[in-house]
Structure 1
Amino acid sequence: MAYATEQQLIDYLAPDPAPANAAKVLDRASDDIDGLLIGAVYDTDADGMPTDPKVQAALRKATLAQAEYLVETKDLTGAQRQWGTLTVGEVSYARGTSGQEPGRIAPAALQALRVSGALNRWVVTW
Structure 2
Amino acid sequence: MPDVGDLVTAQLVVSPYDETTSVTLAVTAPDGTESTPVTTTADDGQTWTAPLTYTAAGIWLLRWTVTGTGASVETETVAVAPAAATMADVRSYATTTQLAVFLHAAPPLDAVKLLERATSLLDSDLLKAAVHDVDDDGMPTDEVVAAAFAEAVCAQVEFWGEVGEETDISGPLEGVTIGSVSLQFGAGDNRSSPDYYAPKMIRAIQNIPADKLRWIAFTGGC
What TM-score do the two structures reach when normalised by structure 2?
A: 0.43
SS at structure 1 position matched to 2:130 = coil
The structure 2 residue matched to 1:20, chosen from 86, 100, 109, is 109
Higher Cα radius of gyration: 2
C-alpha contact 2:131 2:214 (8 A) present in aligned 1? no
- TM-score, normalising length: structure 1: 0.72
User: Which residue pairs with 1:59 in the alignment?
Assistant: 149
Whole-Å Cα distance in 2 between the matches of residues 122 and 2 of structure 1?
23
Question: Per-residue deviation at 1:76?
Answer: 4.5
Instruction: Give the deviation of 1:42 after TM superposition.
Output: 0.5
The corresponding residue for 1:116 is 208
- Are 2:199 and 1:107 equivalent residues in the alignment? yes
Q: Which one has the bigger helix percentage?
A: 1
Distance 1:112 1:99 in 2: 24
Letter in 2 for 1:8: Q
| Higher fraction of strand | 2
Match of 1:2 among 92, 95, 106: 92
RCO higher in 1 or 2 (8 Å CA, sep ≥ 6)? 1
**8 Å Cα contact 1:29-1:63 kept in structure 2:** yes
Q: Distance in 1 between matches of 2:132 and 2:116?
A: 20
Please report how far the alpha carbon of residue 53 of structure 1 lies from its aligned counterpart in structure 2 after TM superposition. 0.9
Name the CA distance, whole Å, in 2 between partners of 1:106 and 1:55: 18
Could you tell me whether the CA contact under 8 Å between 1:28 and 1:76 is conserved in 2? no
Aligned to 2:33: none
Aligned to 1:45: 135
Q: Which runs of 4+ in 1 moved over 6 A?
A: 118-122
SS at match of 1:19: coil
Structure 1 partner of 2:163: 73
Instruction: Name the aligned partner's letter for residue 38 of structure 1.
Output: K
CA distance in structure 1 between the partners assigned to 2:166 and 2:107 by the alignment: 15
Take 1:2 and 1:42, find their aligned partners in 2: how far apart are those partners? 16
The answer for the alignment partner of 1:88 in structure 2 is none
The count of corresponding residues between Structure 1 and Structure 2 is 107
Cα distance in 2, alignment partners of residues 12 and 106 from structure 1: 14
Q: CA RMSD in A?
A: 2.7
Tell me, in whole angstroms, the C-alpha distance in 2 between the residues paired with 1:121 and 1:51: 17
Partner amino acid, structure 1, of 2:202: L
Identity %: 37
What letter corresponds to residue 4 of structure 1 in structure 2?
Answer: A
Q: Any unmatched runs of 5+ in structure 2? A: 1-90, 172-188
Conserved? CA contact 1:26–1:63, under 8 Å = yes
Contact 1:29 1:70 in 2 (8 A): no
Amino acid across the alignment from 1:66: Q
